Chains A and B, each alone.
Chain A
Amino acid sequence: MGRLLCVDFYKIFRTKFFYVVSLILVGFNVLISVTSVLAGLRNYEKFAFFESKSGAWSVTYANFSNIALLLAILSVLFLCSEFSHGTMKNIATKGFPREFIYLSKFFVGLSCAVFYLLLTIASSLISSLIAGGNRLPSYYSLPSNLALTLLLTLFFLAVYVSIALMIASLVRKSGNSLAIYVVASTLISFLPDLLDNFIRNTLNWDFSISSYVYVRCFNEITQMGIVSNIPSADIVRYVCVGGFFLALTLIIGIYYFRERDI
């Protein structure tokens, strides 16, 4: 497992797309931070996040959601390139358990998530501080729920990596995998809302499916984490929903990766 990880890290650091994705992420973060700080300063009262004690951090939190799609693309490209180059054969013929080969990719994706999280924090904080000049409130105080939010964000990024790897190991072609990933995540972000409408308006039940879908949970964490302390009921819900999707996609991904020909 150690050797697999070593080789996978070497491979990903030698790809162009790792650096391209990192650059795009930084670009997004800077753009969004600067524009929202400038807009926020003009319409002070409309932007709730500036009322909190730590202005620059609220922009940073919002930028965490930029990571998900880019990280998924990176994971898909990484796994699919092994199939398209045929290099998966070089690993799979050496008697490593297939589970380990797959998990090694997952851990590399997870490490990239940590790296991108740090990169997002650095680029968002620095650019919003520069854009805000002296006018942003409380630059330097850390949000009280920082550690919790970071942990939950990382947990949900792991879900995104796992979904991307599952699709990549099922489809194997990078173009097709990316298309399927985009279509699937679009569907999963609005279908539950439609169902919610149906349940509320037609069946008159007070129940929301979308709260139990990972997309909504991740949005809640990144968009609302800063304004309030997260209620413990929500934390439990996040952990359960994230854990469910993580386990499900890992099991499906590993199962198919193990059973299919390479």
Chain B
Amino acid sequence: MEDVLLTNKLTKKYGSRLCVSEVSMNIKKGDIYGFIGKNGAGKTTTIKMISGLTKPTAGEITLFGEKNLSKGRCKVGTVIEAPAFVPHLSARDNMYIQWKLLSGQHENVIDETLSLVGLKDVGKKKARDFSLGMKQRLGIGMALMGDPEFLVLDEPVNGLDPEGIVQVRSLLKDLNENRGVTIFISSHLLNELSRLANRYGIINNGRLIDEFSISELETRCKSHLDIKVDDTARALSVLKEACSNAELKLVEGTDTIEVHGYDGRPGELTKILAVNDIFVESVTKSKVDLEDYFMSVVGGEN
């Protein structure tokens, strides 16, 4: 599929401090890419380099397959750090400014977008009097002017209440599914993006330390059984016969066997083992939570 964004060893130094180090990623058309990292990991800096607010110290950016970024950037909508608007103007006037700047479309698109982001009925209310959720949605609405093919959003759900998060999430899902907008979205919380993105990149201390797709994440986070036995060799062969579709793994240096992909009752397995004269010390069901997974990946770095 067509590459929307390609970065090659993107690096940013402030003085002697390395803030983003050799980030190479690629986002394909139709992706919702979740860019995850703790505060200060370098998410905003990466996004600023992509959108042209700051110059990379080294590395390359390719947008829509072109190195000439000023052309590509017309087709990118951005909300970086906080949504930016003229505070004493209404939502519509702010949208008008962004529409005028990019034009090309009929003026109707302003009202259509306002209703899409749920700000149709705010009237003349000044943008500075909006709630945080409304401001975020206005920011996204303004980013949608100029009919972008690629949306770059920096922590768009930061500080929103659960309802606001749901609204933004469903708005983004809608844009992605119905308009084919590719989305790059950063967050410091993996859980917030877990029901949205189909690909993830984890950045820590300026380096992209892991990239995976939603299906990979699912296998990494699926629940499994830990069975502790006295004779692991025999237990393995017995279990292999008993549940042929499950994946068995001996945890090195322990007497624990991990059983992945077994969906029967744990009691069945202990029964089989007991029948075969294998002593079961314990059976525990464990599940890796997204957040735990994130912490386990990021935690090792510090």
Chain A interface (Cβ < 8 Å from any Cβ of B): 3-4, 6-7, 10-11, 14-16, 85-97, 259, 261-262
Contacts and interface: CB of A to CB of B under 8 A. Distances in A.
B209 interface: no
- Give the one of A7, A92, A93, A262 with max B CB within 10 A: A93
Given A3-B103, A86-B82, 13 more contacts: A3-B102, A6-B100, A7-B100, A7-B101, A10-B97, A14-B89, A15-B88, A86-B85, A87-B86, A91-B101, A94-B74, A96-B70, A97-B70
Contacts of A259: 55
Given A3-B103, A261-B48, A93 B76 contact: yes
A152 B76 CA distance: 44
21 contacts: A3-B100, A3-B102, A4-B101, A11-B97, A14-B88, A15-B88, A85-B86, A85-B87, A86-B81, A87-B85, A87-B86, A87-B97, A88-B84, A89-B53, A94-B102, A94-B146, A95-B52, A95-B70, A259-B55, A261-B48, A261-B54
Contacts of B74: 94-95
A93 B101 contact: no
Interface residues of B, number: 34
Contacts of B102: 3, 94
A93 B78 contact: yes
Contacts of B103: 3
B86 A89 contact: no
A85 B101 contact: no
A224 B55 CA distance: 49
Interface string B69-94: 11111101010111111111100010
Nearest to B97: A7
A91 B146 CA distance: 12
**From DSSP, what is the main secondary structure of chain A's interface residues?**
helix
A7 to B, nearest CB: 5
B204 interface: no
Nearest to B84: A86
Contacts of B72: 95
Interface of B: 48, 51-55, 69-74, 76, 78, 80-89, 93, 96-98, 100-103, 142, 146
Contacts of B86: 11, 14, 85, 87
Contact of B52 (A15, A86, A93): A93
A10 to B, nearest CB: 6
Nearest to B101: A7
A94 B52 CA distance: 8
Nearest to A90: B84
Contacts of B83: 86
Nearest to B152: A93
B73 A93 contact: yes
A262 B44 CA distance: 12
B71 A95 contact: yes
A86 B44 CA distance: 15
Contacts of B85: 85-87
A93 B80 contact: yes
B73 A94 contact: yes
A95 B54 contact: no
B278 to A, nearest CB: 63
Contacts of A15: 88
Given A11-B97, A87-B85, A89-B80, A95 B73 contact: yes
B84 A85 contact: yes
Contacts of B89: 14
A8 B76 CA distance: 21
B52 A92 contact: yes
Contacts of B71: 95
A100 B93 CA distance: 23
A84 B143 CA distance: 19
A9 to B, nearest CB: 10
Contacts of B76: 93
Contacts of A93: 51-53, 73, 76, 78, 80
A96 B103 CA distance: 14
Given A94-B74, A95-B52, A16 B88 contact: yes
Ranked nearest first, the 7 interchain pairs of A and B with the lowest CB-CB distance are A86-B84, A95-B73, A95-B70, A261-B54, A93-B51, A262-B53, A93-B78
